[in-house]
Chain A
Amino acid sequence: MSGFIALLRRDLVLAFRLGGGPFLGVGFFLTVTTLLPLGVGARLELLGQAAGGFLWVAASLSALLSLERIFQADVEDGSLDQILLGPLPLEASVLAKALAHWLTTGLPLTAAAPALALLLNMPVAGYGPLLLSLLIGSPALSLIGTIGAALTAGLRRGGLLLSLVVLPLFVPVVIFGAGAVAAAINGFNPVPALLFLGATSLVALVVTPPAAAAALRIHLS
């Protein structure tokens, strides 16, 4: 457990010291949200209807942007060897790194989402489900993304490849997350979507550590 915390702390420190850390993702989130009305026009009703789905798409894209970093630096400077030789099973180390990624991207995005929803004129009924869905679903983005990051660690143009590999796996998360908001806005019950979202996150939690650890071992071999 002390190893888990040590690794988590190290990754958090690095995230904060490297190019703005968590604020960079939020900044991207804000930028894309600003572009949407400029692109489709300031029709408040249309924006309000699309806000939940749009914010989920923007959240998954900004999570994607920072995924490449999860293992890349550790591969390049040899830290991954030291992580592998440490006391923690590689699966647990993967989990620590995914958690660090979520704390520095998913959580800030969740916190920023209501303000952006306001800019997009989202109906009041959507706020609760939006926050809940991001809280439940954004960990799945970090977890699934960790698999992609492990598979593409150390590759040239890994970033582009990463998005191609990871985005189809994001589909259920985005559907259920945005679905919960859409249901609430249209007067339906958002709970089923949130439950499906929770189930998807749990599957990601189970699948990610062994899959990402296997991918890293392949890379190191």
Chain B
Amino acid sequence: MVPNITLDARDLACRRGERVLFSGLSFSAGPGLTEIVGPNGAGKTSLLRILSGVMASAAGRVQMSRGEVLLEAGSYAAVLHYMAHADALKPQMTARENLAFAAAWFGAGMSPEAALERLRLSRQSHLPVAYLSAGQRRRLALARCYMLARPLWLLDEPVASLDAAGRALVAELVAGHVMGGGTVVAATHDALSPDARRVEIA
């Protein structure tokens, strides 16, 4: 099945306390990679949270469609995975257990082992996450994203705290997802790919 999800943002606005972070933000992200760029504090994370549906937009709306068919408003969560800045990993559980919970919770497209293998974490599979380095945790969060195999990936700083090899791995992962018809929206300081569409928020 070709995922083919298009995300359509119209007129989004975000207010934090008394401060307006952005308003009147509209863009469309179809299959392929879309990078959200902007200075620190511009609201990249807030934008991703709005797109994922975790947070409500102060104005405007987000719509998603599969091909030409508009998806129902309540069903967006089922087609996306939101990888937040915080890793959402439990330090007391092993890497494998963390993935197994995500698989049971969201429903997965492959086994935790396969995802760990892909992100080169097989050797750490039985270690509690508390023992993993920041870069390894980031890779584990990416393994979860890869394992769930949702058509739309929303990634918040996917390469943060990764070394050069890790970055290359992420770029490869994203390219693979895009190649298969997937949609990736990433907030990032460092460009993942020169071919990406760019949405700037100031």
Contacts and interface: CB of A to CB of B under 8 A. Distances in A.
B77 A85 contact: yes
A221 B16 CA distance: 10
Interface size class of B (residues with CB under 8 A): 20 to 34
B54 A86 contact: no
Interface stretch (B86-94, B114-122, B163-171): B86-94
Interface residues of A, number: 25
Contact of A221 (B55, B84, B97, B105): B55
A82 B145 CA distance: 12
Interface stretch (A2-10, A101-109, A137-145): A2-10
A78 B155 CA distance: 14
Contacts of A79: 88, 90
Contacts of A125: none
Given A78-B85, A87-B78, A87-B106, A14 B93 contact: yes
Given A76-B86, A85-B77, A87-B78, A13 B105 contact: no
Contacts of A3: 104-105
A153 to B, nearest CB: 14
A78 B85 CA distance: 8
Contacts of B80: 85
Contact of A78 (B77, B88, B91, B104): B88
Interface string B181-202: 0000000000000000000000
Nearest to A17: B92
A69 B41 CA distance: 30
B194 to A, nearest CB: 30
Given A84-B54, A85-B77, A10 B106 contact: no
A82 B107 contact: no
B63 to A, nearest CB: 18
B82 interface: yes
B9 interface: no
Contacts of B3: none
For B49, B85, B88, which residue has the most chain A Cβ atoms within 10 angstroms?
Answer: B88
A77 B106 contact: no
Given A10-B101, A85-B77, 14 more contacts: A10-B90, A10-B93, A13-B92, A18-B92, A76-B86, A77-B87, A77-B88, A78-B87, A79-B90, A81-B54, A81-B84, A84-B54, A86-B105, A86-B106
Interface of B: 49, 52-56, 77-78, 80, 82, 84-93, 97, 101-102, 104-107
Chain A to chain B: the 10 pairs with minimum beta-carbon distance, closest first = A78-B86, A6-B104, A78-B88, A17-B92, A78-B84, A79-B88, A85-B77, A10-B101, A81-B54, A82-B88
6 contacts: A2-B104, A13-B92, A13-B93, A78-B86, A81-B82, A81-B84
